Amino acid sequence: MKKTIKNAKKQSWKPFFKMMGKNVPWAWYVANLVLGLILAELTVRVPELTGRLMNGEIFDNALVWQYVWVNVLLILGRTIQVITGSWVGNYTDRNLQRALWKRLIRIPMRKYDEQNPSTLISRVTSDCTQVTLFLGNFFNSLASLYEMFLVFQMFYGMSREITLALLLAVPYVLLVFIVPGRILFRATERMQGTLSQFTNFVTERMMNVKLVKSSAAERPELQAGIQAAEASYKAEVHMGIVEGVLYPFKNSISGVVEAVILLVGAAMISRSALLLDDLVTLYMYAPLIAAYLFLYLSAFHQAKQAQGATHVVADLMQTKPETMERETSFTQDAADIVFDDVSFRYQDRDILSHVSFTIPSGKVTAIVGPSGAGKTTVLSLLERLYTPYEGTIRFGDTPVETIHLDDWRAAAGYIQQTSPLLSGTIRDNITYGMDRPVSDAEVIQAAKAANAYDFITKLPDGFSSSIGQLGGKLSGGERQRIAIARMIIKDPDYMLLDEATCGLDAENESMIQKALDHLMEGRTAVVVAHNLRTIVSADNIVVLDRGKVQAVGTHETLYKTNELYRRYIDLQFDQDSPANHIS
């Protein structure tokens, strides 16, 4: 919240304009501007022609036809302007949304940690549209600026005194521009922020509705939802009040312009310095001047609203994306992976502190330790979702940060404790991330190896069955088997397993563990597991506690020499002697 308030106070324009950059089709906006300038010439002619007709030239056929054609051309030009303006606006929305999505996909995980991913939904879907509204108003105001120049030129030709008197009203107009603009910025930022929070709240609860119901938490969640909606409602009401309070100031511009023309014009008529017919003509231009000024005011306020609504988007667009292409391609010979004095901090909390150990090539390394020891963080660093604060991770003698990021991740298979799935079919999820066509035979073989084939074929549409949002139509064990099938079909060189058999019954766990054991043969694998057979059979075991390495070795050595490891193993298996489980 403090960061948001700080940004609001700065109200910097640089990120806002930088965000637009190449995402805006400037040529089309300029073309629309040229059309607007042409229409400005025609618009200014209408009051002049109307005044001449009202002054007795109604029977001049040439003048009448000129009046008709000017209005016809105006209608046609405005129609073209509206159609092209709508298309250009939609095109700009699409470009900004695509650019933001591209940036969101590529930004580092640390940036995601600063934002709740659910709140980013409204950033992509609605906040970007504020830029289009601003651009439309901005270019319209440029055309109107030229139009107002023509009007003032005509004013000056008819009455210098009235023109100079109107210029004296400029300070008042500027005051009405600037002060409400800053107020609107803060009101819009507040409204967009509460809307984003409300969207986040609803998204999270709908995705976890089973937890809500199973916890009998309907009543508190109902109240929390009402409070979130109330906060959004109050922000929108505040926005409405701000706009309502500012409305008289906006419309006062018209009154000021008309008053200046009438008062100065009346004084000039009294001393025979201006004809009544000329005053009538000048007064007919008054609504145009007021409309121009109101348009500039609206454009400025729209700019402030867009700036307030998109400051988070602008910040995200400025975030440096992950660099996929590095110095070295990951086509090197197999080598050990070395953690050399690695430290990692998440926000203000130390997770790993000066950790050093080696993951032997072609071997299975088990990471063990109590909850919170930093086991999953090791896997996240190996997946290169994060980078160490201190120290270096090397592949052989090569620092991993110099290896192409996409090559590295493509070579590794990562199964989490609760592996996520995406909406779509079972086949889509098994083949997710593959950069080549996958045959049905490969999919079936992978499903069988993961012990998923039987339950898949029992579904109405088999491999074409929809799994629902985030795999909601499948059980936890079924989702895990789909994730393992994905790993099998990917056939990675390196395997990262974080409780891969979590959520499976004893029979399925045994069968899938055999499949994984077979898959790990001859590969470099790093496993976080509580399964005794996995730990005991590992070639190398790293014991972590409170973010530090306590010991490294084989099961037999560690059980004899390391008290923490021995206690950990005994606690995991109800104080039974591990010797009873080795055979």
Give the pLDDT of residue 302: 66
Residue listed under structure tokens 């999505």: 101
Report the candidate in 558, 492, 569 with the shortest Cα–Cα distance to residue 525: 492
On whether both 263 and 208 belong to a single domain, the answer is: yes
Do 60 and 128 fall within a single domain? yes
Residues 289 and 430 in one domain: no
One domain, residues 91 and 219: yes
DSSP-derived pairing of the beta strands 524-528 and 494-498: parallel
Query: Residue 11: is its pLDDT beyond 50?
Result: no
Q: Is residue 399 part of a domain?
A: no
- What average pLDDT does this structure show over 85-96? 84
In-domain check, residue 17? no
Say which amino acid occupies 123: R
In this structure, the answer to whether residues 80 and 144 fall within a common structural domain is yes
How many domains are contained in the chain? 2
Q: Tell me: do 156 and 297 sit in the same domain.
A: yes
Q: Kindly report the CATH number assigned to the domain that includes residue 242.
A: 1.20.1560.10
Last residue of a domain, one of 252, 287, 318: 318
**Alpha-carbon span 483 to 8, nearest angstrom:** 44
Tell me, yes or no, whether 6 lies in a domain. no
Residue 226 and residue 295 in one domain: yes
Q: Which residue has the higher pLDDT, 256 or 124?
A: 256
Q: At what angle do helices 61-106 and 26-52 cross, to 10 degrees?
A: 160
d(CA 187, CA 245): 13
Nearest to 482 by CA among 437, 431, 527, 520: 431
Same-domain check for residues 280 and 415:
no
Which residues are 412's β-sheet partners?
Answer: 494
Q: Does residue 242 form part of some domain? A: yes
Please state the pTM of the whole predicted model. Answer: 0.64
Query: Tens digits of per-residue pLDDT, 154-208?
Result: 777 778 888 888 777 777 776 766 666 667 667 776 776 777 777 777 776 776 6
- pLDDT tens, residue by residue, 100-126: 888 888 878 887 777 766 666 666 666
> Does residue 146 belong to any structural domain of this protein?
yes
User: Strand runs (DSSP E) across 63-167, as ranges?
Assistant: none
Identity of residue 282:
L
Same domain, 279 and 166: yes
* In-domain check, residue 176: yes
- Considering only 19-23, 369-373, 550-554, which range has the smallest mean pLDDT? 19-23
Residues 310 and 450 both lie in one domain: no
**pLDDT number for residue 252:** 73
Domain of residue 504, CATH code: 3.40.50.300
Whether residues 368 and 273 share a domain: the answer is no
Residues 6 or more apart whose Cβ sits within 8 Å of residue 296: 141, 144, 145, 177
Domain contains 254:
yes
Our CA angle for 180, 184, 186, nearest 5°, is 125
Residue 337 lies in a domain: no
Q: Are residues 452 and 562 located together in one domain of the fold?
A: yes
Q: What is the pLDDT of residues 308-326, one digit of tens each?
A: 666 677 777 777 878 888 8
For residue 434, what are the domain limits?
Answer: 364-376+411-582
